[in-house]
Amino acid sequence: MGFADFRTALVTGASSGIGAATVRRLCAEGLEVYAVARDEGRLAALSAETGCRACAVDVNDLGALTQLAGSAEFDVLVNNAGQSRRSNILDTAPDDVDTLVDVNLRAVLHLTRVIVPGMAKRDRGHVVNISSIAGHYAFGENATTFNSSVAYHATKAGIHSLSRQLRVDLFGTRVRVTEVSPGRVATGIFQNPDVGGGGNDRFVGAFETLQPEDIADAIAFAVGSPMRMNVAMLEVIPIFQVVGDLRFARRTEAAQQTEIKKRS
């Protein structure tokens, strides 16, 4: 199994949610896990619970990431850290665009750039990128999910593209790349006021929702698979969630909307 070939792992966004659940699962599999996040208090508690190495690092700090990458030979990299905002391209704030690109995409590219070459040189390793169904599907405002921003969708689509290209770049090595694309998961993102009013009760309480441990189990399945096998992509959604949104407007409705916009 894959776990028998690996000794160390690095997990970003590790202080809560999917990241913390992944740290717990990988530690339980016997790996030495470097848990990366900004919240020192939560990391300390997680370290006391699991024995992981707490690394209070901002993923936007390239110098700190580079130093961390050189502190160990990482066999498993889980790019999990991410943020979301609520808006569309018509009203997205400049700061939101910058934050989402920096955290969701730029940090992943840099961390991959400084860690994966070592995996390739050792001919051993596994990269797990956490994307989102938002990177594959467009959501309308009437969708029964949070109306995440176009920048969020774009960054997660970038993670999907990165995962596919990384497999090409690593062809001929025994370094595997897995993209895990979750649907709705009961994490702190739904309690973020920037995502939309109502918080956890609105987006999680009334629905059948995945738990962070479900995604950690999916990651463990991929990492623990036989070395002859690469789980390229896992789309993991709740049993009562379906993706895709096809809508049509009647000509009269479209004309009415146009007239309303002209008057406003």
Q: Is 13 left (phi over 0), alpha (psi -120 to 50) or beta?
A: left
Contact 71, 3 (CB under 8 A): no
Single-letter residue type at 133? I
Tokens of 132: 């989102």
From residue 240, alpha-carbon distances to 144, 145, 220, 252 in Å are 11, 12, 24, 34
Catalytic residue selected from 74, 152, 190, 203: 152
CB 96 within 8 A of CB 192: no
Annotation marks residue 152 as catalytic: yes
Is the torsion defined by CA of 6, 12, 16, 17 positive or negative? negative
As annotated, the active-site residues are: 152
